[in-house]
Amino acid sequence: MTNIAIVCGSFHKEEIERMLSLARDQAAKENLTIIEVVWVPGAMEVPLALSRLIENPEVDGAACLGIIEKGSTQHGLAMGQAVLSSIIDLQLSSNKPIGLGIIGPGAEPEHIEPRLEPHARAAISAISSML
Protein backbone atom coordinates (compact mmCIF):
# COMPACT_ATOMS: atom_id res chain seq x y z
CA MET A 1 0.00 0.00 0.00
CA THR A 2 1.31 3.44 -0.93
CA ASN A 3 0.34 6.26 1.41
CA ILE A 4 0.23 9.92 0.52
CA ALA A 5 -0.78 13.15 2.22
CA ILE A 6 -2.26 16.35 0.81
CA VAL A 7 -1.82 19.96 1.90
CA CYS A 8 -4.64 22.32 0.91
CA GLY A 9 -4.59 26.10 0.95
CA SER A 10 -7.82 27.42 2.47
CA PHE A 11 -7.80 30.93 0.99
CA HIS A 12 -9.90 29.69 -1.97
CA LYS A 13 -11.66 27.02 0.08
CA GLU A 14 -14.56 26.25 -2.27
CA GLU A 15 -12.28 25.70 -5.29
CA ILE A 16 -9.73 23.74 -3.27
CA GLU A 17 -12.43 21.45 -1.86
CA ARG A 18 -13.33 20.63 -5.47
CA MET A 19 -9.66 20.02 -6.27
CA LEU A 20 -9.38 17.76 -3.23
CA SER A 21 -12.34 15.69 -4.42
CA LEU A 22 -10.69 15.31 -7.83
CA ALA A 23 -7.37 14.43 -6.18
CA ARG A 24 -9.10 11.75 -4.11
CA ASP A 25 -10.60 10.28 -7.28
CA GLN A 26 -7.21 10.29 -9.01
CA ALA A 27 -5.51 8.72 -5.98
CA ALA A 28 -8.02 5.86 -6.06
CA LYS A 29 -7.30 5.33 -9.78
CA GLU A 30 -3.56 5.24 -9.07
CA ASN A 31 -3.86 2.91 -6.04
CA LEU A 32 -2.65 5.58 -3.63
CA THR A 33 -4.14 5.90 -0.16
CA ILE A 34 -4.58 9.39 1.25
CA ILE A 35 -3.83 9.03 4.96
CA GLU A 36 -3.88 12.71 5.91
CA VAL A 37 -5.21 16.02 4.61
CA VAL A 38 -3.97 19.24 6.19
CA TRP A 39 -5.53 22.66 5.58
CA VAL A 40 -3.28 25.72 5.84
CA PRO A 41 -4.15 29.43 5.58
CA GLY A 42 -2.39 29.98 2.26
CA ALA A 43 0.56 29.17 0.01
CA MET A 44 3.13 30.56 2.43
CA GLU A 45 2.32 27.82 4.95
CA VAL A 46 2.43 24.95 2.45
CA PRO A 47 6.17 24.11 2.76
CA LEU A 48 6.06 23.78 6.56
CA ALA A 49 2.99 21.54 6.42
CA LEU A 50 4.60 19.41 3.69
CA SER A 51 7.82 19.13 5.69
CA ARG A 52 5.94 17.89 8.75
CA LEU A 53 3.96 15.37 6.71
CA ILE A 54 6.86 13.86 4.78
CA GLU A 55 8.84 13.39 7.99
CA ASN A 56 6.32 10.65 8.80
CA PRO A 57 7.82 7.33 7.63
CA GLU A 58 4.32 6.12 6.70
CA VAL A 59 3.93 8.91 4.12
CA ASP A 60 5.50 7.95 0.78
CA GLY A 61 4.71 11.22 -1.00
CA ALA A 62 2.57 14.30 -0.79
CA ALA A 63 0.67 16.79 -2.91
CA CYS A 64 -0.24 20.42 -2.43
CA LEU A 65 -3.34 22.11 -3.79
CA GLY A 66 -3.83 25.85 -3.91
CA ILE A 67 -4.27 29.00 -5.94
CA ILE A 68 -1.99 32.03 -6.07
CA GLU A 69 -3.90 34.83 -7.78
CA LYS A 70 -2.44 37.77 -9.61
CA GLY A 71 -2.56 40.78 -7.35
CA SER A 72 -1.94 44.45 -7.90
CA THR A 73 1.67 44.05 -6.69
CA GLN A 74 4.44 41.47 -7.18
CA HIS A 75 3.70 39.86 -3.79
CA GLY A 76 2.06 36.74 -5.25
CA LEU A 77 4.86 36.20 -7.75
CA ALA A 78 7.57 36.54 -5.11
CA MET A 79 5.70 34.29 -2.69
CA GLY A 80 5.00 31.73 -5.40
CA GLN A 81 8.67 31.54 -6.37
CA ALA A 82 9.71 31.10 -2.73
CA VAL A 83 7.10 28.41 -2.11
CA LEU A 84 8.00 26.47 -5.28
CA SER A 85 11.71 26.65 -4.43
CA SER A 86 10.98 25.34 -0.92
CA ILE A 87 8.89 22.47 -2.31
CA ILE A 88 11.71 21.43 -4.65
CA ASP A 89 14.17 21.55 -1.73
CA LEU A 90 11.83 19.35 0.34
CA GLN A 91 11.65 16.76 -2.44
CA LEU A 92 15.40 16.63 -2.75
CA SER A 93 16.12 16.49 0.99
CA SER A 94 13.43 13.86 1.74
CA ASN A 95 13.71 11.85 -1.49
CA LYS A 96 9.90 11.77 -1.49
CA PRO A 97 7.83 13.07 -4.41
CA ILE A 98 5.64 16.12 -3.96
CA GLY A 99 2.94 16.71 -6.55
CA LEU A 100 2.35 20.36 -7.34
CA GLY A 101 -1.30 21.30 -7.68
CA ILE A 102 -0.93 25.04 -7.17
CA ILE A 103 -2.57 27.19 -9.83
CA GLY A 104 -0.48 30.30 -10.40
CA PRO A 105 1.26 32.43 -9.34
CA GLY A 106 -0.41 35.12 -11.37
CA ALA A 107 -3.72 33.34 -11.88
CA GLU A 108 -6.51 35.59 -13.12
CA PRO A 109 -10.09 34.65 -12.17
CA GLU A 110 -10.76 33.24 -15.67
CA HIS A 111 -7.70 30.96 -15.39
CA ILE A 112 -8.84 29.19 -12.25
CA GLU A 113 -11.89 27.13 -13.25
CA PRO A 114 -10.37 25.40 -16.31
CA ARG A 115 -7.25 24.47 -14.31
CA LEU A 116 -8.88 22.93 -11.22
CA GLU A 117 -9.22 19.40 -12.57
CA PRO A 118 -5.99 19.12 -14.58
CA HIS A 119 -3.85 20.53 -11.75
CA ALA A 120 -5.47 18.33 -9.08
CA ARG A 121 -5.10 15.15 -11.13
CA ALA A 122 -1.57 15.96 -12.31
CA ALA A 123 -0.39 16.54 -8.74
CA ILE A 124 -1.44 13.00 -7.80
CA SER A 125 -0.17 11.41 -11.01
CA ALA A 126 3.23 13.04 -10.47
CA ILE A 127 3.56 11.29 -7.11
CA SER A 128 2.61 7.95 -8.64
CA SER A 129 5.08 8.40 -11.50
CA MET A 130 7.95 9.36 -9.23
CA LEU A 131 7.42 6.54 -6.75
- Residues tagged active-site: 75
Residue 90, C-beta contacts closer than 8 angstroms, at least 6 positions apart? 47, 50, 51, 54, 98
Q: Which helix (H) or strand (E) holds 115?
A: helix 109-130
Task: Report cis status (omega within 30 of 0) of the bond before 57.
Answer: no
Residue 95, C-beta contacts closer than 8 angstroms, at least 6 positions apart? none
In this structure, is the dihedral angle defined by the CA atoms of residues 14, 37, 124 and 21, taken in order, positive or negative? Answer: negative
Closest CA to 16 of 43, 34, 56, 36: 43
